[in-house]
Amino acid sequence: MIRLERVYKDFSGRAALVNVNLTVPRGCLYGLIGPGAAGKTLILKTISGLLQPDAGGVFVDGQDVSRLQGEALAAHRCRIGMQFQNNALFDFMTVADNIAFPLRRLLSLSDDQVRERVRERLERVALPGFEDRLPGGLSGGQKRRIGIARATITGAPLILYDEPAAGLDPVSSLRIFELLRAEQQAAHTTVVMVSSDIDRLLRVTDRVGLMHQGELVFDGATSEARESTNPVVRQFLRGLPNGPL
């Protein structure tokens, strides 16, 4: 389970996260939505330990990540798979080497075991036989799938996705979200996902949180978000032209 308690972060006198309280149950697919620069990616960074809050606590399975250092922090990160917003693929590496990168850093496996895991992941993301290709020859959707394969290859119990469908057409975006849901259900992982593709995100999430100006203004079941009377939530989900945003 993930729990943020009154998390506060300030950058040069500007509050970026304001007393955020958030709970993600184990095995939940949680979506974080909101306008740009609302603090969504910062939440992912605090969960992963890439960013320490100025105040408050970030608890993952009861452990306060915000207080970890050295080997303890490294061990925490080993239990997390993450897909970055820009995919962060190494252009000089083949698809197989990109996907295998976290395996070789974190686990002691034979070359045959690594190859088998890479093959299995490529089949799961519907890209069999792509091992020897280079990222430069892939489409945007294919790169996203490779990023998903790399994020999930270690079998980490917690997966963080930052804009997994950014820049894709609606059909490709829906396929990515359906793939993420299928992966999450198959592995029983806990997933926190940031996305601006609201319509398709809400089709697959169990719970959703809406960030606005550094504050979490809504946290609840996806069905509750759709029916919320909160004016900020209603405006954001329905795309109304006027209001508090």
Question: In the chain, where are the structural domains located?
Answer: 1-79+191-245
- Residue showing tokens 């169990």: 206
Residues near 244 by beta carbon (within 8 Å), at least 6 away in sequence: 231, 232, 235
- Residue 22 vs residues 44, 56, 60, 98, 232: alpha-carbon distances, Å: 12, 12, 12, 33, 18
Q: What is the pLDDT of residues 106-137, one digit of tens each?
A: 887 899 999 999 999 999 888 999 999 999 99
Q: What is the pLDDT of residues 233-243, one digit of tens each?
A: 888 887 644 44
- Averaged pLDDT, 77-95: 88
Point out the least confidently predicted range of 52-66, 127-141, 227-241: 227-241
Q: Does domain 1-79+191-245 have CATH number 3.90.79.10?
A: no
Phi, psi for 200 (deg, rounded to 5): -80, -30
Distance in angstroms (rounded) separating the CA atoms of residues 224 and 222: 5
